[in-house]
């Protein structure tokens, strides 16, 4: 059978674009790609890149005070959200242009519209056109979801926060994962009064307990009002509550299209928590989960299996139950990180177009949480490791030189989880400024299977925070 394309990619994020351009540019395949929104996907347009720019912006708020301790006379001004947002959007436009150019220069034909799967070898575009392909690659990514509750549409999700018309003075963030905690720190650093609800006992579930405990303490020290064991019980515009004479009557507020983001439109939101706490906020931000973009894609109709969360189920080679259809990135809900999606895309090309079946290694992936301070982590947490085997824990927490000299209370943490039997470092966890930069390098050692003795043999770089990683001689406890 003659196909229109060798490969049709649905989704223009980092993973899909990488697979498309390498298959076409390096392997001579005839490739098409469809994207219904902006090229670059979640990471470039609605996630990693704009978020990190906001992290950088928020970190300057304390510069004047810290500089004063070091002898500088610096006057702190206010943050100009409009100026920053304009420059940020220009950068995102530039990056999207780069993605488009990469595809064009590789010979990939692009369609700026939604596509869905019609049969194992056919893709249908929104305008009704259909194309056949020997292989179809699903790379649609994921999206933030709102909870199923009255008036949830009035709140922001992560896609909205980069487009706020102005900066709110007060915000309630609902959630305790890395997205919630990162934006709590970002907004607090930009001068917003932040309250955070999390239904669990401690934020950042799934990360090392000691590390996330320190981050929680540091966030509270910065002024973030964290309520654990709390969730939103009721939410409505403050004006509607007052006009209706009470919250219960206001719950019938009609649904609309635009979230309340900065006190405009419907005005501030009144919120009551499950613990009885009440507050009024210029904006509410739900960071309560994400879902794979598999709705109305025709996948189950052609035999592609979906998991409980709507994710595309794939094997070790990213192949679905339909042999001609593969999936990579967040739509598979394996490890939802941009570098992982890119590696999955490269492995797909190796497998399908180079005849070199390649599995993606999802073990010992370093990652960072861009709170303030940041957390860098690779390998097993203490809690996970001790469920597997006996371990020694090497850990230190201290005020680094820069903070101590300035009289700031901020602390950092360096931690190694080490196998008693083999001396192999099973996990490394860092809470400190620029921990993301540190963990990238530590991740190389952990991935190689370095032992604690290997760390000990490494001479310290002095004076640095990270030297503690190689100078911790005795375990603080064993488990």
Q: Which residues are catalytic?
A: 462
CA-atom Rg of the chain in angstroms: 24
Whether residue 320 contacts residue 327, with contact meaning beta carbons closer than 8 Å, is answered with yes
Integer angstrom CA distances of residue 68 from 44, 60, 152, 189: 36, 14, 44, 18
- Minimal CA–CA distance to 164: which of 269, 265, 255, 238? 265
- For residues 316-334, b (16+ Cβ closer than 10 Å) or e, as one string? ebbbbebebbbbbbbbbbb
Tokens of 247: 């919250």
| Two tokens, residue 127 | 């305008």
The DSSP element (H or E) to which 284 belongs, if any, is: strand 283-286
Residue 366 φ then ψ, to 5°? -70, 150
275: Cβ contacts below 8 Å, ≥ 6 apart: 227, 229, 230
Q: What angle do CA 142, 196, 380 make, to 5 degrees?
A: 60
* CA 141 to chain CA mean position, Å: 12
**What is the CB-side half-sphere exposure of residue 321 using CA atoms within 13 A?**
11
Tokens describing residue 272 = 């009551």
**Which tokens in the block code for residue 469?**
């990683």
- How far apart are the C-alpha atoms of 243 and 252, rounded to whole Å? 12
**Among candidate residues 48, 6, 403, 19, the one with its CA nearest the CA of residue 218:** 403
**Which two three-digit tokens encode residue 188?**
């607090």
- Residue of 159, 145, 192 lying closest to 51 (CA atoms): 159
């Amino acid at each position: 059978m003659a196909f229109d394309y060798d490969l049709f990619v649905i989704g223009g994020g980092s993973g899909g674009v990488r697979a498309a351009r390498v298959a076409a540019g390096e392997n001579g395949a005839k490739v098409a790609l469809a994207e219904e929104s902006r090229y670059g996907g979640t990471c470039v347009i609605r996630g990693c890149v704009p978020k990190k720019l906001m992290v950088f912006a928020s970190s300057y708020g304390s510069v004047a005070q810290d500089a004063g301790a070091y002898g500088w006379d610096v006057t702190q001004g206010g943050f100009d959200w409009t100026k920053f947002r304009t420059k940020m959007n220009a950068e995102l436009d530039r990056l999207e242009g780069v993605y488009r150019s990469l595809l064009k220069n590789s010979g990939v034909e692009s369609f700026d519209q939604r596509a869905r799967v019609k049969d194992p070898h056919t893709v249908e575009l929104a305008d009704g056109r259909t194309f056949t392909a020997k292989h179809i690659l699903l790379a649609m990514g994921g999206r933030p979801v709102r909870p199923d509750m009255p008036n949830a549409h009035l709140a922001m999700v992560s896609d909205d926060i980069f487009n706020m018309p102005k900066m709110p003075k007060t915000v309630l963030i609902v959630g305790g994962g890395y997205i919630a905690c990162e934006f709590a720190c970002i907004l607090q650093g930009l001068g917003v009064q932040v309250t955070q609800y999390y239904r669990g006992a401690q934020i950042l579930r799934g990360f090392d307990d000691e590390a996330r405990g320190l981050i929680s303490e540091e966030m509270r020290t910065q002024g973030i009002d964290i309520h654990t064991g709390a969730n939103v019980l009721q939410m409505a515009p403050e004006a509607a509550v007052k006009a209706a004479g009470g919250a219960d009557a206001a719950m019938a507020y009609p649904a609309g299209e635009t979230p309340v983001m900065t006190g405009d439109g419907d005005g501030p939101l009144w919120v009551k928590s499950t613990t009885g706490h009440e507050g009024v906020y210029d904006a509410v931000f739900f960071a309560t989960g994400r879902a794979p973009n598999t709705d109305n894609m025709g996948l189950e109709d052609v035999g592609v299996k979906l998991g409980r969360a709507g994710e595309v189920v794939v094997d070790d080679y990213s192949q679905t139950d339909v042999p001609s259809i593969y999936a990579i990135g967040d739509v598979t809900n394996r490890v939802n990180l941009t570098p992982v999606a890119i590696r999955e895309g490269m492995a797909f090309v190796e497998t399908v177009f180079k005849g070199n079946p390649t599995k993606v290694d999802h073990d010992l992936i370093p990652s960072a949480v861009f709170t303030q301070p940041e957390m860098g982590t690779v390998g097993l947490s203490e809690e996970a490791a001790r469920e597997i085997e006996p371990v020694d824990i090497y850990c230190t927490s201290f005020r680094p030189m820069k903070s101590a000299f300035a009289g700031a209370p901020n602390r950092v943490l360096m931690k190694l989880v080490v196998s008693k039997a083999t001396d192999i470092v099973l996990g490394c966890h860092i809470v400190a400024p620029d921990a993301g930069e540190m963990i990238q390098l530590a991740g190389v050692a952990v991935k190689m299977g370095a032992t604690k003795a290997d760390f000990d043999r490494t001479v310290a770089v002095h004076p640095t925070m990270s030297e503690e990683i190689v100078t911790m001689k005795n375990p603080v406890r064993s488990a």
